[in-house]
Structure 1
Amino acid sequence: MTPVVPGLAGALVAGGVLLIALGLTRRPAPPPRPPRSRPRTITLSRRTLVLLAAGFVAGALIAALTGFLVAVVLVPAAVAGLPLLLAAPPAQAQVKRLEAMEEWVRSVAGVLTAGVGLEQALITSLRSTPEPIRPEVSRLVGRLRSRWDTQSALTLLADDLDDATGDLIVAQLRLGARRRGAGLAAVLDALAESVGQEVRARREIEADRAKPRSNARLITLISVGVLAFLALSGDYVAPYGTPFGQALLLVLLAAYVATLVWMRVMSRGKPLPRFIGTHARQAAS
């Protein structure tokens, strides 16, 4: 008998003993998996559907008149997609929401200086709440009028605002609701000043980001105009009439669109992590 067989048998026995010992060892229970979020469904607005339909009709006419079958795809994509790619990102709406939070905090602080309680100050502030956050504050006031606990109502306000700055505001309000001190108005005034500084910084950042978007918008409009003029007035686009030429045209335009998408992704800021509410707990888990 060769020495390989006894060695292999000994290795198998040792491996079996180790597996048995590993199976008998107690291990901590694995943490529960976070709930899977439902896949997002892509919904098109009515305006986008109208633009797609109009672009499809125009592309079909161009394909019938010129023989460029690729126009059936390019024209609807350009008509419906370029406005979305060249439009301003939603960061401006976020800046308006921050500005509304600053104004609302100042309003609550002003009401508190009159000597009323926190709950009554929150309810009274609804009259002067700016429009960007009026739905969220309206739900808060509805909960308070329904005799909700102030802490729970403010926690749900943080979920409704869904913003790190909103979490900071809610944290100060919850602390004031717990301590019931006289200095909450001064704290909220200081917090509003801090939010105002953040709003001014965000506006400066968005002004700097708007410059390359304006340049890209101008270059795109000039390029589309020049291509349309050359397509109608000369033989410049004749090489693209072949199947290979149309495929090459699709590749070139797809690369240009990819640069626009890349520019839009680069100009989109990452939101700060939240620390209050159920959304924050789910993200942390």
Structure 2
Amino acid sequence: MLYFWMKWVFLGPVLRLFFRPEVEGGENIPADGGALLASNHLAVADSFFLPLMLSRRVTFPAKLEYFTQPGVKGKLKKWFFTGMGQIPIDRSGGAAAQAALDTGIRLLREGHLLGIYPEGTRSPDGRLYKGKTGLARMVLESRVPVIPVAMFGTDKANPIGSKMWRPHKIRIRIGKPLDFSRYEGLAGDRFVERSITDEIMYALMELSGQEYVDIYAAKAKEMLAEEQNGKPAALPTQRTTTSRDADRIPETEAG
């Protein structure tokens, strides 16, 4: 019920009034059945505008901290995110990482529309970064199509570090579904999972027009922080973590 009231009565009308969102390619969203929406990630606002503009309900995994913060503020956050259909995931690695993937697979098999940010976190500079392979595992296990989604303008409406949103035109471009049934039975093959992920990121690059950078966004943030602190930036590597499972988690937090 909260999802309905926020979308159509309270939050939705306000967002439509001040940001005039438009969507292109809405016909590419299936009327029913499971599908994975793979979107670029420019701002926290992405998770508000994409569900607003689709007729079907979209579920986004959200970091566990949103549901476990103590106090009144924490309870309000948990109530809001739960009511909006968000599901908590523990991104601490190992068994937690696998549990997060299993949750995504279960939701897709149950016919949900699942939103994922393959980059794992917001782009620090508006460019498109290397995708994590967890979404490929979910696609192979659940056997659902992947629908690329490009967000435009959310980084202007909700710049990194801003406490208040600024009125700005928002556009959403939805691409044609990507079918990976040719890889059926190959879940767990890291070469196949990386190939699928790279194909999805290429589709996002074409759809969004963003420059692609072949390192993880989290690594780019570390390098940017080092530069701001007057330290020489470390050379990028192909992996930003030693955890095999952490590399797979297509995190959806807006940090």
* TM-score interval (norm. to shorter): under 0.3
TM-score normalized by the length of structure 1: 0.21
Q: Which has the higher helix share?
A: 1
Larger strand percent: 2
Tell which has more relative contact order, 1 or 2 (C-alpha 8 A, sep 6+). 2
